[in-house]
A and B are shown apart, each in its own frame.
Chain A
Amino acid sequence: MPLIVVGGLVFGFGLGLSHMARPEVVLDFLQFEDFGLLFVLGVGSVVAGTAFAVGVHVLDRAPLTGRPYARRLKSFDRNVLTGGVIFGVGWGISGICPGAAYASVGVGNYPILLAIAGMFLGAYAQGLWRARTDDAAAATPTSD
């Protein structure tokens, strides 16, 4: 837990310093007025990627959890595209994504709480909808 806190503090400090916590800066990037965000994503993923490579190829198991190191791999299906499109529209409208929204609260940007409320609402609605469609699929006899 202390490591999670330290990691979160550094992560949040980075989001603040990189100005990702400001929707205006994200929108400037998306509107081609300031390409600086490429450096945030680029440098961030290279630094994290180095840790992932070291974990997977050099180390054995994580000291604090005993979990084996693995790359972050998710299965690919149509949802990855659908979700990416919906997320993209939302990001393009608001300039805000989850981590940056939390960080934005930290810089005192209280209007962002509305965006976070929206995110919870969206995640809740998606979960309910998914639960319903899964139930419907389970109730349908598939084979005999």
Chain B
Amino acid sequence: MEPLVTFADLFPNGIWRYAAGGALIGLGTAAIYLGTAIPAGASTFFESTLSYVSDVPRFNRAKYVASRDWRVAFTLSIVAGAAIYAFAFGDFGWTTSVSWPRLFVGGVLVGVGTRIGKGCTSGHGICGVGSVAPTSLVNVATFLGVAIVTAQLMQAAGVSP
């Protein structure tokens, strides 16, 4: 009897690169945490970097100003780490075909949403879920569910890519 859904249907690109990539994401987070006790998320970078150029008190809170230098270093290292991957695997120069209005509008909403919601995919998703923090689990379930509905609606509306 044929199974209804096969493994290959669910994972057309296999799983090793996803699992290995996830392990490295976790490992990078773990190394920083074990050395510094800082749960490193990616999205606080926005406020902490805005504190260089904005006088708005909200961006100049002590926790943002104190962390802004290492957050810039962290972000540039992420860029560099991905570049090393890209050159090692001959992937450099790949560009997305997702249209620019989607990138921009999506980016604005992501910027607003992570700041209101106290974290992003790495802050809540990796560090928060890794901490088994109820707030993070709720946030991740919310954004995953909403993102799935949004993406499916866009697909149904024929927006591609």
Residues of chain B touching chain A, judged by Cβ–Cβ distance below 8 Å, are 10-15, 17-40, 42-43, 45-47, 49-50, 54, 56-59, 70, 73-86, 89, 91-98, 100, 102-136, 138-155, 161
Contact = CB atoms under 8 A, between A and B. Distances in A.
28 contacts: A4-B77, A12-B85, A16-B84, A20-B21, A48-B126, A49-B26, A49-B131, A52-B131, A62-B35, A65-B38, A69-B37, A83-B117, A87-B109, A87-B113, A87-B143, A90-B106, A92-B147, A94-B98, A97-B122, A98-B45, A106-B82, A110-B95, A119-B46, A121-B108, A121-B111, A122-B113, A127-B54, A131-B56
A10 B6 CA distance: 33
A5 B70 CA distance: 9
Question: Would you call the interface of chain A mostly helix, strand, loop, or mixed?
Answer: helix
Interface of A: 1, 3-24, 27, 30-52, 54-55, 59, 61-65, 67-76, 79-112, 114-128, 130-131, 134
A43 B19 contact: yes
A97 to B, nearest CB: 4
Contacts of B142: 80-81, 84-85, 88
Contacts of A1: 70, 73
Contacts, number: 527
Contacts of B13: 19, 34, 36
A10 B117 CA distance: 26
A30 B152 contact: yes
Nearest to B29: A48
